[in-house]
Structure 1
């Protein structure tokens, strides 16, 4: 078997070295395994894929840099890193932009966002092959249940080194505190911070329930994982193999999305309750307080950083998606 695998890799016309930042047990890795299996079989062995999981080749940002330079061909991008390579991708981290996963998925697959992806490929040398939600980011803390924006007052909330996240927590009266990911568990355990925000699946996977008491399902930012390929490599492929690559990436994204969606809505929430966390789902009226508190400050920040017309177009696109969804139900 080893000899056969080695022969396949040597005889392949194209070799893809791929890097992602999650463990081999994660839904993301399962999706990438689907990508590997599909691409290798559907290309008839013309493409060989080698996946390096769990940041073996460096952080998510490091791997994207390597993909940009062509050291590797494929990497994992997310809503927190893509804007470092193409600034308009910053929009993906906008708080309370999407009301649910379906709106997010429709936006990621919309003609509007396809155009953004093409411009990213042209200007950055990185092409986003496919993307999917890995769950909404939610707040946890050790002070009290956060049921409305007013409850954030004074809470020391850990945020990633993202200006958008800083603006969001500050707008609600909290104290945004950047802490490196590798130091987060210890910071919560020692009380350096009162809380943090991540998708529900991450709260479970990394045992944050051991050092956090309250979970609020406010769904403030859509977590997004993407498969990103070096544009020069992608264009070097014959057209039929480009189709194979895109199809495999879409299948990978769908695989991760399905498992993460079930985890975020059902299995992880149930397990966190069983592990002792107090889980709260805000009412529609309470959710409006979060959106109202953050809308103007976040839009003002976005329009300082990006073309205001682009920002307005994004909000208009999502409003249209929301209207289309409502109309489909009414029909």
Structure 2
């Protein structure tokens, strides 16, 4: 929260006069996408683009800018908060630095299925997180993309136990919860910008990374990674955000259309995941990737992460009560 404000305060006076007129009156919005075309972000963005055009009789369009063309994902949050970017689709972990409570959705092993991801994001808890993000970061979540679990890939060997991780250099985003999880597993993770990840894997600067199957396929990681381990530590959720200042500048009818299009695009994203993930896994195997599953049902991975990592981040997500509320919603409890 402080980070966002420290940037907004000195810049907003110089930016607002330039940005306000085109953003309020323009019939074309810009949407940033962190991933390449073909992935979950692109699918959500395209669906939203189509719906917004249909619902406004073709009067409103959305231009998509994939593969980080408008800056890295955290930059797009900051730019949207200042009103100089309309929309962005990005990984939830890149919203967390601006609105810490959404870190609830990146706590390891809180979400254990696509259904649970949908339950949390589209229910009461999701509504709370939307409001928190408006208050903290000046951006509004209007849709959710569901990408599946972040599975682990590497170029060295099959990984089935935590001991197999020893010696591997794993790329992670600059996210404290994710870094802390790998540290608990005995790995010294290497934070690396998303735009540098493919090259880092290709050159052997890092041995592995984690992302959903859909992202692995879209980014062609099969060209630089051979082994996949089916872990479920984080279900990848990628919100569609709009600048709150841009949203408030719209007429009520347009605001309603944006929210409706976001809801329908969210449903489309969920269906897309269920329809495509198995096909993508088979395609990656056909391209030479080897998929393995952790022994003993991932028990040691879960035990270490939940007992070591969860307590460290209770305060940042709003207290243990927030985690308890999420688990109760899913029919589970903390230990």
The question of a shared fold, defined as TM-score above 0.5 by the shorter chain, is answered with yes
Q: Distance in 2 between matches of 1:281 and 1:287?
A: 8
1:286 has 2:303 as partner:
no
1:121, distance to aligned residue in structure 2 (A): 1.2
The corresponding residue for 1:58 is 71
The corresponding residue for 1:174 is 187
1:138, distance to aligned residue in structure 2 (A): 0.7
Number of residues of Structure 1 aligned to a counterpart in Structure 2: 309
Q: Distance in 2 between matches of 1:52 and 1:196?
A: 24
Contact persistence 2:40–2:146 (CA under 8 A): no
TM-score by length of 2: 0.83
1:196, distance to aligned residue in structure 2 (A): 1.5
Q: SS at 1:58's partner residue?
A: coil
The corresponding residue for 2:82 is 69
Instruction: Say which of 267, 282, 303 aligns to 2:279.
Output: 267
The 5 A counterparts of 1:1-331 are 15-44=28-57, 47-264=60-277, 266-282=278-294, 285-308=296-319, 311-322=320-331
TM-score by length of 1: 0.83
Q: Distance in 2 between matches of 1:51 and 1:184?
A: 22
Runs of 4+ in 1 over 6 A off after TM superposition: none
**Residues 187/106 of structure 1: CA separation in 2 closer, same or farther (3 Å cut):** same
- Identify the range of structure 1 (20-29 vs 195-204) with the bigger mean alpha-carbon deviation: 20-29
1:240, distance to aligned residue in structure 2 (A): 2.8
Q: SS at 1:71's partner residue?
A: coil
Contact persistence 1:147–1:280 (CA under 8 A): yes
- Identify the range of structure 1 (247-256 vs 109-118) with the bigger mean alpha-carbon deviation: 247-256
**Residues 14/190 of structure 1: CA separation in 2 closer, same or farther (3 Å cut):** closer
Q: Deviations over 1:1-42 (max 9, x none)?
A: xxxxxxxx9xx7755332222333334323322222222332
Contact persistence 1:140–1:213 (CA under 8 A): yes
Q: SS at 2:189's partner residue?
A: strand
CA RMSD after TM alignment: 2.5
Q: Distance in 1 between matches of 2:223 and 2:54?
A: 43
**Residues 279/24 of structure 1: CA separation in 2 closer, same or farther (3 Å cut):** closer
Q: Distance in 2 between matches of 1:124 and 1:192?
A: 34
Q: Distance in 1 between matches of 2:223 and 2:41?
A: 24
Q: Distance in 2 between matches of 1:242 and 1:290?
A: 43
Q: SS at 2:272's partner residue?
A: helix
Contact persistence 2:40–2:214 (CA under 8 A): no
